[in-house]
Amino acid sequence: MLIGPQRNVVLRVLAHVRVTYIIVLGAALLAWEILAASHVFPIFAVPPPIDVYHSFISLTTTGYLGSTLQQDLLVSLIRVSTAFVAGVVLGVAIGVAMSQNRTIFAIIDPFLQFLRPIPPLAYVPLFVVWFGIGELPKVLLILVSVVPVIILNTTGGIRSIPNYRIEVARNLGSSRVQILRRVILPSALPEIMSGMKVAIGVAWSTLVAAELIAASQGLGWLIQQAGTQLQTSIVVTGIIVIGIVGYLMDIAIRLLERLVIPWRDYA
């Protein structure tokens, strides 16, 4: 239940979305239509908006290669959310451990720095060999892309806590565990949530790579299958759906941010 100022936050975000974004969206749609109608590019390269709309309708009703858009969306959503939630929990735990213990930091940090620049796509063959072609390798691949982002934001957030804030707690008799739970975690929360915003984007981009692994459903799979058959209007539909869902998740995290950490600008 949302009350008082919290409800206002929701309204403010919605109002913000309505005004500017619809204008931008309309302009983009118009430019797209003009580009498609000009026939500068062949129709399979730039399908007109109306074709994409028709694909969308047929995808949601009859489906494509045995599954509807809703089913693909659901499968992908489950993969992304499972990996995202697990990745956040794991990333925060590792980040906290690293910042509390020098040895743990010294052990994990080299791996982190080494693995960070490698695109998740590069792991696909390995993951197939290691974990087969079920749900596990797909979820793990997304997880692997999420965890470093969360770790870095967690350690960064903890590092930037002003010293006196921890000294106050020590002074008032807080134990190490109490300091962690009552001071360090809430202090690092704004940066952890920033990390979550970045990570949700990373998770969706990794999804397509994850669904390269012998998938038979999912938005990434849909895009690839349609791509090999030059069904570009389906590809574009899939891209738009991923974009919208990713964007909605970003808004959800932002809302969560304002509800959970209204003090972030004063921290």
Partner 1 sequence: MILQIERIAKSFEGGDAQRRRKTIFEDLSLNLQERDFVTILGPSGCGKTTLLRLIAGFEKPDRGKLVFNGNPIKGPGPDRVVVFQQSGLYPWLDVRHNISFGLRNSTRKVDWKAVDEMVEAVGLTGFETYAPYELSGGMQQRVALARSLIMHPQMLLMDEPFAALDAHLRRSMQNFLIELCARFETTVLFITHDVEEAIVLGQRVLIMGSSPGRILGELDSREVKPLGDDIIDDPTYRELRRRAVQMLDSQVT
- Residues that bind partner 1 in the complex, under the rule CB under 8 A: 162, 164-165, 167-175, 178, 182-183, 186, 189, 261-263, 266-267
- Cβ(149)–Cβ(198) under 8 Å? yes
What's the CA gap between 245 and 201, in Å, rounded? 10
Nearer to partner 1, 114 or 164 (CB): 164
Q: Write down the least CB distance from residue 266 to partner 1, Å.
A: 4
Nearer to partner 1, 183 or 235 (CB): 183
Q: Write down the least CB distance from residue 250 to partner 1, Å.
A: 23
Nearer to partner 1, 73 or 184 (CB): 184
Q: Write down the least CB distance from residue 191 to partner 1, Å.
A: 14
Q: Write down the least CB distance from residue 190 to partner 1, Å.
A: 10
Nearer to partner 1, 108 or 261 (CB): 261
What's the CA gap between 152 and 233, in Å, rounded? 38
Q: Write down the least CB distance from residue 185 to partner 1, Å.
A: 10
Give buried/exposed letters for 116-143 (b at 16+ CB in 10 A, else e).
Answer: eeeebeebbeebeeebeeebebbbbbbb
Nearer to partner 1, 24 or 172 (CB): 172
Q: Look-up: residue for tokens 């959970």?
A: 260
Give the tokens for residue 248: 């909605």
What's the CA gap between 20 and 15, in Å, rounded? 9
Q: Write down the least CB distance from residue 156 to partner 1, Å.
A: 18
What's the CA gap between 6 and 165, in Å, rounded? 28
Chain mean position to CA 258: 18
What's the CA gap between 73 and 244, in Å, rounded? 11
Nearer to partner 1, 100 or 178 (CB): 178
